[in-house]
Structure 1
Amino acid sequence: MDRVRPRDAVFLAEESPQTPLHNVTIEVFDPGTGPDALDHARLVRLVRDRIAFVPRYRQRVLTVPGNLAAPVWVDDENFDLGYHVRRSALPRPGTREQLLELAGRIVSRPLDRSRPLWEIYFVEGLESGRVALLSKTHQALVDGVHTVDLGQLLLDLHPESRELDPDDWAPRPAPSSAAVLASAVKENLTDPLAALDTARSGSQAVLRAAGHGSARARGLLAAATGRSPQRNGVINGPLSQQRRIVAVQTRLDDYRQVRDAHGGTINDVILATLSGALRAWLMTRAESLGGLRQVRAVVPVSVIDEELEATSLGSQIAAHFVDLPVGEQSPVVRLHQVSYSFQAHKDTGRSVAANRLAGLAGFAPTTFHAIGSRVAATELRRGYHLSVTNVPGPQAPLYAAGARMVASYPVPPLVPGHPLAIGVTSYDGGVFYGITADRDWIPDADLLGVCVREALDELLELSSETRQRAPRGRRGARAARPRTRGRGGADGSSRPD
């Protein structure tokens, strides 16, 4: 009997209507034309073809009676691929804003626990004839050890799809309640650690429920007295059940230009851009910076560390904390401060080159983002304002059933008390930001997306001025500098050239 691992059991126990724990990816495709164009039927065939590589995508969670042990994974005897691969449409010509509004509603809904914990939406009607895929997968499903994200397996390096052997899967009968209960009792008696893990998961669920009750009580009190509840911080606060999604597309060459002018890495420039964006956005709000000089961010990074749990991606994922200098006025100084923070990570010798990650088979960023979100969720006790997952992807186009992917936006989940999370993916010459915000606590999330573009433009302008002031020989030397050094990981911190 395949029991849910302790960490995954915690994710299942801690989930609530305010904190649905699933990762979402929004991918935009040029579907092509004619009979071979990507449509819902071709997507269903593609998923049916590739799902054999991730057996857990056809399994559901079965709860042990009395919660005497962690749940178990069992085959879904009524598995219905049509339920999981859904079809939707926007009023033509659908804008990106309409797509993101739809994504916000999909992100807000928890997954059905009685079925395998994933969904894919095929969205038609986008402007320029494009289509989108919205994939939604629970954190307990993708651990990078036993299961990678299905999205990693749907994309090919060439328009011609790989021919695979037919899948003759048949579900195994689910064990009876008596068998599940007997197995749990036996395991608790023979394995004290298993009993301890069960107790921990249950206690955390109780504490989470109590916390939600307290938050609701504070809200009712505020409504009765006419006073707003006290804020936990400038960008921290309670969560509602609704989400807002913001997407920003930029060019990778712009980050290279800033890096070449001021040093550091692509990852440093991305985080410096976010620092400038957060600074500008916070200053437009009524509370301004509120004395906030730094935004503490957890940035999951890829490392080689035998003490951490191994993944199927060739490295482990660890948390790295960086203080984003939102109180600093100079964009260049912000960049140098971010670079200095990551220098310590580089000096450990554990870092993994980003070009190695970008060269993994399939579209590994979807799996890395899922693992990074898991790491961020487990680091809540250490305290941070914001999670940022930054993953380097391949710099060549990828295809799904012959359709070229033109954009990929990660949509990380929110955790209690953190109404803002940011994911970044570099792919095929672009850098794509996905911003998840609580719809009620951060109603101006769109403005943060505008500030990301403005912060990057500011760095680009200063970089151009630096290059113009530099002597001709110095400019040539900088341009000729070999691009072999760097550090990498789920943060995408080295140069994905």
Structure 2
Amino acid sequence: MAQAHGDRLSAVDASFLAQERANSHMHIGAVLILEGPPPSYEDFLNHIRSRLHLVPRYRQKLAVPPLETGRPIWIDDASFNLEYHVRHTALPSPGSPEQLRALAARIHSQRLDRAKPLWELWLVQGLEDGRFALISKTHHALVDGISGVDLMTVLFDLSPVPQIVSHEGEPWAAQPEPHAAQLAARGIKGLLKLPLELANGALSAATRPASSLDHVKEALEGIGEVAWAGLNPAPETPLNVPIGPHRRLSFVRNDLDDFKLVKNTLGGTVNDVVLTVVAGGLRTWLRSRGVRTEGLELRALVPVSVRTKDDQGQLGNRIVVMRGPLPVYVEDPVARLRVVRQAMDGLKESKQAVGAAAITGLEALAPPTILAQASRLQFSTRLFNLLVTNVPGPQFPIYILGRELLNTYPIAFLPENQSLAVAVMSYNGGMDFGLLGDYDNLTDIEDLGQALRDALAELVEAAGGKPRGRRKKTSAVQ
């Protein structure tokens, strides 16, 4: 699907806008560490400018129909200025990991301006060893994590020699911005289409009754399972308290082979091992806070991509969420992995994801006010304690202007009353964690990072190996 002027936001994309609050920013991003020397700001701008046509959405802003007559649409920003979105800064000497984390945390503490295209990219010079960093920040309504990995090919190349990209149609010219009356008409037209869409669905069901009944039954069962999960709220923990707008970050560097060793020796999937590591780290951290963990099972909101191969490389969200267990009550790391594995196997066999997708489908037929209420229900903090997302990245080196990408630390978002989010991304043999915390509530976020390292080390040793640490060619950021 082309990213055209006038595209309407999907129900899922619009839900991320509806969920945003003054203290709960719905943007995601990453801190990328690259080999030096850094490119000049002008060279970097020109590189982005030469490829921006591959992602037209990055030159588009939101237009909201009056009186909430329809979901927002994407329109070309006639005043688009690349220099506004691509910032240039440098760390003071010595350019330490702590300084970079503090800068990235401050950047992610500020909401994106909805009057402009919803993204920023920072070129950061002055890191130790002559390296440089990129700090990205993109609203979740624009792109989800799984799709974002595909879009790295816009700026990155597979070899140190930059690829020459054809860009016919430049210089770019914005399409005329619709007037308020045109927006209102489009919104009303969309609302009038709802009965027709429902009728078309009914006609499709009538022509394939057996198949349709199976789908309806499965969806209803799935919605029932989601409702049951909602009737069993997540336990109260120090993680689930009111948050402010300011953030802290911690990075944990790991080797993907450590996770594969545990998976191959003790069973489960890489994602099962990730959840087990998070559970083990949280167990240690909670106990350091004086919280008793006996009988305590936290719940993680685990996004699951339903993006098909045909959807790869397109903007917009194709995700549903499941609530996975974090059994912090289990002391033995092998037993903890077994509990996680069995629970996740059960979730996959359940219809919870199907139910979430069905709810999303119902939201697509909802007017904006109802959609906003539904989105808050899906992200209700009664249902989970923290977000844990695991995004697979390319397992080969990629480059920008001849500089190799060394590390990528993902950054998630904090819903209301959620003071911690854990994002994980694999890249070129690494498995790096980005911990995002509320500034006031997670003053000990570095202790949690160390607890996660220790939890992985326990599992690796139980699997008969020794923690490998991280690849030789890596950054000092931790």
CA 189–275 in structure 1, closer or farther in 2 if over 3 Å, else same: closer
- For normalisation by structure 2, the TM-score amounts to 0.76
Structure 2 distance, partners of 1:267, 1:14, is 27
Structure 2 distance, partners of 1:15, 1:129, is 37
How far does residue 188 in structure 1 lie from its aligned partner after superposition?
Answer: 4.0
How far does residue 383 in structure 1 lie from its aligned partner after superposition?
Answer: 0.8
State the partner residue of 1:211: none
Q: Which has the higher contact order (CA 8 A, sep 6+)?
A: 2
Structure 2 distance, partners of 1:143, 1:193, is 30
Alpha carbons 1:238, 1:416 under 8 Å: kept: yes
Structure 1 distance, partners of 2:15, 2:77, is 22
Structure 2 distance, partners of 1:241, 1:276, is 28
How far does residue 7 in structure 1 lie from its aligned partner after superposition?
Answer: 3.0
Structure 2 distance, partners of 1:345, 1:232, is 23
Q: How many residues align?
A: 400
Alpha carbons 2:19, 2:376 under 8 Å: kept: no
* 1:8 partner letter: D
Q: Which one of 6, 11, 17 corresponds to residue 6 of structure 1?
A: 11
Alpha carbons 1:278, 1:448 under 8 Å: kept: yes
Structure 2 distance, partners of 1:144, 1:322, is 18
Structure 2 distance, partners of 1:232, 1:346, is 26
Q: How does 1:68-467 map to 2 (within 5 A)?
A: 68-142=69-143, 150-166=151-167, 167-189=170-192, 191=194, 232-286=236-290, 288-289=291-292, 293-302=296-305, 311-312=311-312, 317-344=319-346, 378-380=378-380, 383-464=383-464
How far does residue 341 in structure 1 lie from its aligned partner after superposition?
Answer: 2.3
Alpha carbons 1:105, 1:242 under 8 Å: kept: yes
CA 188–336 in structure 1, closer or farther in 2 if over 3 Å, else same: closer
> Over aligned residue pairs, what C-alpha RMSD do you find?
3.3
Alpha carbons 1:54, 1:147 under 8 Å: kept: no
Identity of aligned residues (%): 39
Structure 2 distance, partners of 1:158, 1:349, is 43
How far does residue 152 in structure 1 lie from its aligned partner after superposition?
Answer: 4.6
Alpha carbons 1:300, 1:376 under 8 Å: kept: no
Alpha carbons 2:147, 2:313 under 8 Å: kept: no
> Structure 2 unaligned runs (5+)?
1-5, 198-234, 354-374, 467-478
CA 319–71 in structure 1, closer or farther in 2 if over 3 Å, else same: closer
CA 326–376 in structure 1, closer or farther in 2 if over 3 Å, else same: farther
- For normalisation by structure 1, the TM-score amounts to 0.73
Alpha carbons 1:142, 1:148 under 8 Å: kept: no
* 1:91 partner letter: P
1:459-483 Cα deviation digits (max 9, x unpaired): 22333389xxxxxxxxxxxxxxxxx
SS of the residue 1:171 aligns to: coil
SS of the residue 2:121 aligns to: strand
My pick for the range that moved more, 337-346 or 451-460, is 337-346
My pick for the range that moved more, 314-323 or 59-68, is 314-323
How far does residue 170 in structure 1 lie from its aligned partner after superposition?
Answer: 0.9
How far does residue 150 in structure 1 lie from its aligned partner after superposition?
Answer: 4.6
Structure 2 distance, partners of 1:347, 1:290, is 28
SS of the residue 1:335 aligns to: helix
How far does residue 27 in structure 1 lie from its aligned partner after superposition?
Answer: 0.5
* 1:251 partner letter: D
